[in-house]
């Protein structure tokens, strides 16, 4: 009876053992063995002997089928990726709000000996300045001054004139006391009398001087008396406001040669301020670290805190767009095929075996068991045939 069970059991053992050995020979031995100078067959194992070709094949599969541009673009457009990138941007914004001043201070310390022109393209600044001035002049040309001022400035001007009218009258009164003012009145009167004399040549030079002095005194006396009259203040206020209104309603004319000259003056004035900074070191710029940078940082922090959601959303979209546009260049620079191939070739064969076994260990176990089952079946068939 035992003879019936021996062939299937032996067949199962042989089948299991041969499949087990065959699978092991995929990875073992890891190096070539020699006996009396002759290479032992099947050394090294299949994978160690074909390692480079295996690496090339895997790298090619990864490049052409797994990590393609289309696959990566599709992955980048997944909502999960967008959300993770948005959260990353928000963390960076939070870190800036928390420690941005320290980072910028460290950055300024590291670049303190560098000239400003290393970081600022002054030729581009000059070019953009010209464009900005042209845009500004085009906007201002033909506009009335009143259009450019805030809506409530008219009332503020009226209020200002009312508040300053007493000061204006006092200045006028002080002006009448000055010899220069008296001389102006005197010569103004005398010049007008000289025109009268041309028609009635009866006045002598002395009489003319006397008349001029008396009339000048009357005019000055009139001005002095008027300044103390409340109605005078009202009239002065009205005149000042009418002149102010006339100025506000005047159109700005920046066309033609006058406009070009004014543009040149504005540009030269601004460049006169900017140009000295070309050769200055960062550390030599007065007030940069103590005044300018802290104000800029404070402004940026407030902006980030108020518009964090909007900034993170826009930054995420822009980052994704840049990554997608530059993806071909990135992939070419990374060279996935070479990277995978070099990585596989650099791994110890034991690690390669562990990676392969991790992927197909269960399938190899089934193959080994299948060898035992087939051996058992063949042994059983032998028993049937020889009964």
Reduced 3-state DSSP string for the chain: CHHHHHHHHHHHHHHHHHHHHHHHCCCCCCCCCEECCEECCCCCCHHHHCHHHHHHHHHHHHHHHHCCHHHHHHHHCCHHHHHHHHHHHHHHHHHHHHHHHHHHHHHHHHCCCCEHHHHCCHHHHHHHHHHHHHHHHHHHCCCEHHHHCCCCHHHHHHHHHHHHHHHHHHHHHHHHCCHHHHHHHHHHHHHHHHHHHCCCCCCCHHHHHHHHHHHHHHHHHHHHHHHCCHHHHHHHHHHHHHHHHHHHCCECCCCHHHHHHHHHHHHHHHHHHHHHHCCCEHHHCCCHHHHHHHHHHHHHHHHHHHCHHHHHHHHHHHHHHHHHHHHHHHHHHHCHHHHHHHHHHHCCHHHHHHHHHHHHHHHHHHHHHHHHHHHHHHHHHHHHHHC
Token duo for residue 46: 């299949």
Whole-number pLDDT of residue 359: 66
Looking at residue 101, what is its pLDDT? Answer: 80
pLDDT digits (tens, 9 = 90+) for 179-208: 777 777 777 777 776 766 666 555 666 777
Sequence-separated (6 or more) residues with CB below 8 Å from residue 198: none
| Most confident listed range (2-6, 16-20, 287-291) | 16-20
What count of Cα atoms within 13 Å lies in the side-chain half-sphere of residue 201? Answer: 1
Residue with structure tokens 């100025």? Answer: 247
% of residues, the chain, pLDDT over 70: 85
Confidence of residue 230 (pLDDT cuts 50, 70, 90): low
Residue 304 burial by Cβ neighbours in a 10 Å radius (0-12, 13-18, 19+): middle
Rounded distance between C-alpha atoms, residue 13 and residue 115, angstroms: 82
Q: What is the pLDDT of residue 387?
A: 59
Cα 71 to its chain centre, rounded Å, is 29
Q: Give the residue-averaged pLDDT of 372-387.
A: 72
Contacts of 347 (CB under 8 A, 6+ apart): 355
Q: Are 140 and 252 in contact (CB under 8 A)?
A: yes
**Is-contact 51 352, C-beta < 8 A?**
yes
The model's confidence at residue 336, banded by pLDDT at 50, 70 and 90, is confident
8 A C-beta contact, residue 364 and residue 25:
no
What is the spatial distance between Cα 107 and Cα 166, in angstroms, rounded to a whole number? 56
Q: What pLDDT is attached to residue 149?
A: 72
Distance CA(268)–CA(60), nearest Å, equals 62
Give the residue extent of every domain in the chain. 1-112+289-387, 115-143+254-280, 150-250
The C-alpha atoms of residue 149 and residue 134 are separated, in whole angstroms, by 21
CA distance 259 to 253: 7
250 is written with which tokens?
A: 């005047």
- Mean pLDDT (the chain) is 77
């Amino acid at each position: 009876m035992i003879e019936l069970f021996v062939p299937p059991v032996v067949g199962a053992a042989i089948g299991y053992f041969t499949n087990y050995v065959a699978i092991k020979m995929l990875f073992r031995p890891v190096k070539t063995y020699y006996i009396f100078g002759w290479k032992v067959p099947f050394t090294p194992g299949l994978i160690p002997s074909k390692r480079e070709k295996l690496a090339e094949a895997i790298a090619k599969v990864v490049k052409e089928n797994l990590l393609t541009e289309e696959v990566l673009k599709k992955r980048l457009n997944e909502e999960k990726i967008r959300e993770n990138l948005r959260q990353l941007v928000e963390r960076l914004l939070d870190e800036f709000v928390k420690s941005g001043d320290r980072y910028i201070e460290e950055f300024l310390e590291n670049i303190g000996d560098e000239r400003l022109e290393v970081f600022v393209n002054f030729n581009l600044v000059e070019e953009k300045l010209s464009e900005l001035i042209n845009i500004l002049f085009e906007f201002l040309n033909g506009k009335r001054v009143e259009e450019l001022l805030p809506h409530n400035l008219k009332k503020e001007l009226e209020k200002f004139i009312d508040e300053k009218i007493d000061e204006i009258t006092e200045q006028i009164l002080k002006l009448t006391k000055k010899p220069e003012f008296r001389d102006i009145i005197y010569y103004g009167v005398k010049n007008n009398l000289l025109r009268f004399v041309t028609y009635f040549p009866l006045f002598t030079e002395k009489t003319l001087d006397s008349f001029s002095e008396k009339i000048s005194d009357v005019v000055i006396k009139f001005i002095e008396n008027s300044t103390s009259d409340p109605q005078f203040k009202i009239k002065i206020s009205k005149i000042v406001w009418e002149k102010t209104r006339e100025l506000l309603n005047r159109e700005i004319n920046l066309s033609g040669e006058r406009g070009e000259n004014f543009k040149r003056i504005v540009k030269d004035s601004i460049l006169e301020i900017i140009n000295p900074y070309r050769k200055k070191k960062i550390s030599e710029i007065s007030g940069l670290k103590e005044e300018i940078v802290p104000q800029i940082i404070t402004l940026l922090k407030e902006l980030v805190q108020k518009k964090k959601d909007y900034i993170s959303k826009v930054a995420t979209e822009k980052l994704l767009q840049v990554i997608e546009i530059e993806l071909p260049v990135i992939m070419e620079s990374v060279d996935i095929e070479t990277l995978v191939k070099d990585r596989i070739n650099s791994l110890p064969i034991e690690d390669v075996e562990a990676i392969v076994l991790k992927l197909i260990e269960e399938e190899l176990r089934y193959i080994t068991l299948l060898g035992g089952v087939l051996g058992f079946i063949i042994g059983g068939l032998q028993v049937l045939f020889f009964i």
